Amino acid sequence: MEELFRTEYPVAAADYSSAGRASADIKRRLKQLGVGGDILRRVSVASYEVELNLVIHSLGGELTLVVFPEKVQLISADIGPGIPDLSLAMREGWSTANDEARSLGFGAGMGLPNMKRNADEFDIQSEVGVGTTITMGFLLPV
Query: Coil, strand or helix: which one is 74?
Result: strand
Concatenating the DSSP letter of every residue in 99-132 gives: HHHHHTT---S-HHHHHHHH-SEEEEEEETTTEE
Q: In whole angstroms, give the CA distance from residue 75 to residue 63.
A: 6
DSSP 141: P
pLDDT in tens, 15-70: 999 999 999 999 999 999 999 899 999 999 999 999 999 999 899 999 999 999 99
pTM for the model stands at: 0.92
pLDDT in tens, 60-108: 999 999 999 999 999 999 998 999 988 988 887 767 666 666 666 666 5
Query: Coil, strand or helix: which one is 130?
Result: coil
Q: In whole angstroms, give the CA distance from residue 75 to residue 11.
A: 12
